[in-house]
Structure 1
């Protein structure tokens, strides 16, 4: 998510293809908030794992990589009707697992606590539509510009942007971020959407600022918009487009304006865990080269955000 320094905010995540394409697929303290459910179905390990030797011995011996993720961000990661974790990230993780000989276990938590969980070793990695940006790389709070942690490294794997959507037929004349002045905007806490809204609010004329409503997940923001409690929602484009296409059978919401802040999604890894970082990069590049990556993105309508190569810390 383009989350606040994060770019699922600071999403950097701007983005992918058109709504029709998406339709193909159907604070900083770790307080234990959010659903901490583990899902061990996310990857299937085969007999042949050509990149297993690249992993740290501890993880290779354990056979699992614990993934912190906000599993409420369709189509990137979400629970299907059976309760299974599905989406772009779980499918990519499963494909990488075949290369590395391990299973990726997704554990759900609130987005703004994922990096704290990574620093405390609750997770081995965070994979959650997280925008790779300098603030996150350096552990800087984007609001205060103060150091709040050691930062993380990112293994980049997708490009996305930030979009705004409103109730269908009730756009409130919103077409740009400047049009949000005087309006109520719902966002997921800790995302790039929140960062952008705070920055835009500082530009608004006196007495006409943006009323920012922050929620633990994007579904809550959608509920507020649907009920009339907000004028608009901002989220990463793949998520916004998916919501517009699927909510109420496509009758609830509509996209307004253009995507902004296009940036890479990255898998977050601790600064000192360079061997794991490099193994993940090698696995991602392997599935890009063998075609699995493209098939997964096409499955979820996200092919327009495809990258030709995974890089480390490509976010600006």
Structure 2
């Protein structure tokens, strides 16, 4: 399925929590549910690693990069057998070999990740997070006001948004307009949620009903049980659900993916040394072929990039 080149509107972003909510989430951070530390990953080879010297001194000392991630988003990051697995953890392991450090994934709700990074809980956020100008500039997309200092992104993947239905029960759904008069399930705070809300305003008397969940897995469960007509999420997530749920018998993709945009690793604006080290590590992973192996392993070659860029989102 070919990704659309439709330009992503400011208020609609993949796995996007409004920047305003991010700005006020500090008080909630201490009570964020289910925070866990993943101790696995690549063992550090320290200063013997080719890019170790590019890291900030504090990370050279600890040999650990603390990663904030919403670990409930297969195949990007999720738990399997008690271990954090997926595209992002595999890329982090490959980068760790280049940098001589271990990437320690810590689980948190998506809309608190940037706040957690700002408070020092995490040094980076790596969680299928879309690189956007609003996030770069710290702007609330709904109010247009600057609410925090913003972040830099090291971009490493491209993804659009897809609609999926129960297999054999598409009910004529192929576009967002076809959802009018029906019910769609989404993960709360994502681009799919924003697109659904935008489409609902256009549907008029043919009301579009939206049910939002904390995780995409919960949305899939609701659709599987017959509680909705369709679901919508990032293409790699939707494609993975279609491939794996019920052995491939539960869901099917419908129509084209839209809103193609880059995923990026978020790094604090002032932490340029770490940002540049991560970029160099990803470039090395692309060059040595590990990147392509990871994309193929998870069946997401369509979203692969050949060039690691900084702040390429719009």
Q: CA deviation at 1:238?
A: 0.7
Which residue does the alignment assign to 2:4? none
- Using the size of structure 1 for normalisation, the TM-score is 0.89
CA drift at 1:172 = 2.3
Structure 2 partner of 1:17: none
1:43-82 equivalences under 5 Å are: 43-46=42-45, 48-80=48-80, 82=81
What are the within-5 Å matches in structure 2 for residues 128-139 of structure 1? 128-139=127-138
The residue aligned with 2:3 is none
Task: Indicate the SS of the match to 2:310.
Answer: coil
CA shift in 2, pair 1:277/1:5, >3 Å: farther
Are the counterparts in 1 of residues 38 and 105 from structure 2 also a CA contact under 8 Å?
yes
CA RMSD of aligned residues (A): 1.9
Cα shift at 1:203: 2.1
Give, in whole Å, the separation in 2 of the partners of 1:117 and 1:210: 34
Q: Does 1:218 align with 2:225?
A: no
Unpaired stretches in structure 1, ≥5 consecutive residues: 11-26
Aligned ranges 1:1-316 → 2 under 5 Å? 7-9=14-16, 27-28=21-22, 29-30=25-26, 31=28, 32-46=31-45, 48-80=48-80, 82-205=81-204, 207-316=205-314
Deviations 1:216-268 (A, max 9, x none): 11111111111222221111111101101111111111111111011111001
* Structure with more contact order per residue of length (Cα contacts < 8 Å, sep ≥ 6): 1
Count of aligned positions = 297
Give the whole-Å Cα distance in 1 for the aligned partners of 2:261 and 2:310.
13
CA distance in structure 1 between the partners assigned to 2:144 and 2:212 by the alignment = 20
Tell me the TM-score normalized by structure 2: 0.89
Give the superposition deviation at 1:282. Answer: 0.7
Q: Aligned-pair distance for 1:148?
A: 3.1
Larger deviation, residues 114-123 vs 102-111 = 114-123
Give the Cα–Cα distance (whole angstroms) in 1 for the partners of residues 303 and 297 of structure 2: 13
CA-CA distance at 1:141 after TM superposition: 2.7
SS at match of 1:202: helix
8 Å contact kept, 1:43–1:91: no
Shift of 1:6: 5.0
Counterpart secondary structure, 1:279: helix
What's the secondary structure of 2:189's corresponding residue? coil
Alpha-carbon spacing, 1:200–1:236, altered in 2? closer, same or farther (3 Å): same
C-alpha deviations, 1:58-111, integer Å up to 9, x for none?
11111101101111111111111x211111100100010111111000011111
Instruction: Supply the distance in 2 between the matched residues of 1:303 and 1:250 (Cα, whole angstroms).
Output: 19
